[in-house]
């Protein structure tokens, strides 16, 4: 019973976080595409033509994650998808640590210049760990 | 069964949203890439530009083109030119343009007469929706005679 209540509370909080992030990006999807194109993966930088297709996909995935997490019968898939998303964010953030982005890093705030700092990474890592733990709990408890 | 239906339904809705977003992104990108390049702007300014310069956050605000359109008409009706560009790009790639126009911060609107080395600016508070252009319109009207003379 207590575990179930905790799962519900954490689910609502995480779903809200993804929904908030989705709404932010939904307002200016091109800006988010531009931000995505500015991330460097080693020496490689994503061309804007690919970023304009990938960024809307990420935006939609965030909403999908929020919805799946909220529905009890799809929660397991929601947390799995969320974990994959976080892993992706953590990887690109780590590769772009201390880099400045004129339109923001696309994390939660947009249009304001920002720099990727360790707290950004820790926040995403915490979200990843919580979701992985919840996946295990849901699988074990059922 | 509930799980399968829910997943299918949300995936279909997500796909539709993805298509809508792709269209929005494409539209905004076309506007941004349709703007003059920094090289062209610099050349125009060096050749004695007379008109108005809108140094805005074009990438960050998709509705920019909507409120710029009526102002462009006012300016062009007076036989003057309007240059619109993204402030972030100027400040990160081409500071010379910012120096030429004496721009220290953006978004802003600058009344320019390069022949007289005249450049007076107005700071704009750019909003996502329903941008109030009354003050900008007033600024343009006041500066029209100064630039034309």
pLDDT at position A44 is: 85
Query: Which position has the higher pLDDT, B14 or B116?
Result: B14
Whole-prediction pTM: 0.84
For residue A66, the model assigns a pLDDT of 97
Residue A108 has a pLDDT of 62
* The pLDDT value given to residue A43: 81
pLDDT of A102 strictly over 90: no
State the average pLDDT over residues A10-23.
95
pLDDT at B18: 97
Q: Do A55 and B2 touch (CB under 8 A)?
A: no
Name the residue in chain A with its Cα closest to that of B33. A48
Tell me the average pLDDT across B93-121. 81
Same domain, B30 and B41: no
With 0-12 / 13-18 / 19 or more C-beta atoms within 10 angstroms meaning exposed / middle / buried, residue A126 is: exposed
- The answer to whether the Cβ–Cβ distance between A27 and B24 falls below 8 Å is no
Indicate whether B50 and B7 sit together in one domain: no
Residues B14, A63: C-beta atoms closer than 8 Å: yes
Residues B10 and B83 in one domain: no
Same domain, B141 and B104: yes
Query: For the residues B53-81, what does the mean pLDDT come to?
Result: 86
Q: What pLDDT does A112 receive?
A: 62
Q: How many A/B residue pairs have CB atoms within 8 Å? A: 72
pLDDT at A137: 92
Expressed as residue numbers, the domain containing B28 is: 1-34
Neighbouring C-alpha atoms within 13 Å toward the C-beta of A27:
16
Nearest to A39 by CA among A114, A112, A109: A114
Average pLDDT over every residue of B15-38 = 92
Q: Do B22 and B88 belong to one domain?
A: no
Burial class (CB in 10 A: 0-12, 13-18, 19+), B107: buried
Q: Are B21 and A33 in contact (CB under 8 A)?
A: no
If asked whether residues B1 and B19 sit together in one domain, one would say yes
**Together in a domain, B49 and B114:** yes
Q: Is the pLDDT of residue A110 over 70?
A: no
* Mean per-residue pLDDT over chain A, rounded: 89
The rounded percent of chain B whose pLDDT value lies above 70 is: 94
* For residues A82-97, average pLDDT: 92
- Cβ-Cβ contacts under 8 Å, A27 against chain B: 128
- For the domain that residue B125 is a member of, what is the CATH number? 3.40.30
Number of structural domains in chain B: 2
pLDDT of residue A14: 96
Rounded-to-integer distance, Cα A56 and Cα A42, Å: 23
In this structure, the answer to whether residues B57 and B30 fall within a common structural domain is no
The nearest CA of chain B is from the CA of A142 a distance in Å of: 15
Residue spans of the domains in chain A: they are 2-141
Provide mean pLDDT across the span A27-51: 88
pLDDT of residue A109: 60
What integer pLDDT is reported at residue B22 of this predicted model?
96
- Note the ipTM here: 0.89
B142-146 average pLDDT score: 80
Residue A58 has pLDDT above 90, yes or no: yes
In 3-state terms, what secondary structure has residue A107?
Answer: coil
Chain B positions in Cβ-Cβ contact with residue A52 (cut-off 8 Å)? 22, 25-26, 29
Q: What is the pLDDT of residue B139?
A: 87
Q: Please give the average per-residue pLDDT across A63-81, as a whole number.
A: 96
């Amino acid at each position: 019973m207590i575990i179930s209540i905790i799962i519900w509370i954490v689910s609502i909080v995480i779903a809200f976080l993804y929904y908030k992030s989705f709404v932010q990006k939904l307002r200016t999807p091109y800006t988010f595409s531009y931000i995505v194109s500015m991330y460097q993966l080693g020496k490689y930088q994503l061309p804007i033509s690919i970023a304009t297709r990938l960024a809307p996909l990420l935006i939609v995935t965030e909403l999908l994650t929020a919805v799946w997490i909220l529905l009890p019968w799809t929660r397991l898939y929601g947390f799995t998808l969320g974990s994959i998303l976080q892993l992706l964010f953590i990887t690109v953030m780590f590769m772009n640590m201390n880099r400045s982005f004129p339109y923001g890093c696309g994390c939660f705030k947009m249009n304001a210049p920002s720099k990727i700092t360790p707290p950004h990474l820790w926040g995403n890592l915490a979200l990843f760990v919580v979701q992985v733990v919840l996946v295990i709990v849901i699988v074990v408890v059922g | 069964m509930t799980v399968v239906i829910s997943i299918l339904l949300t995936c279909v809705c997500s796909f539709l949203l993805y298509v809508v977003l792709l269209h929005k992104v494409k539209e905004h990108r076309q506007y941004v890439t349709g703007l003059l390049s920094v090289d062209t702007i610099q050349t125009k300014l060096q050749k004695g530009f007379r008109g108005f310069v809108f140094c805005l956050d074009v990438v960050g605000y998709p509705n920019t083109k909507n409120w710029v359109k009526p102002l462009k008409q006012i300016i062009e009706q007076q036989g003057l030119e309007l240059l619109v560009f993204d402030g972030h790009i100027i400040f990160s790639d081409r500071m010379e343009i910012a120096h030429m126009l004496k721009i220290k911060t953006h978004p802003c609107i600058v009344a320019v007469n390069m022949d007289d080395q005249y450049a007076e600016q107005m700071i704009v508070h750019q909003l996502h929706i329903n941008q109030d252009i009354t003050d900008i319109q007033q600024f343009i009207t006041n500066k029209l005679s100064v630039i034309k003379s």
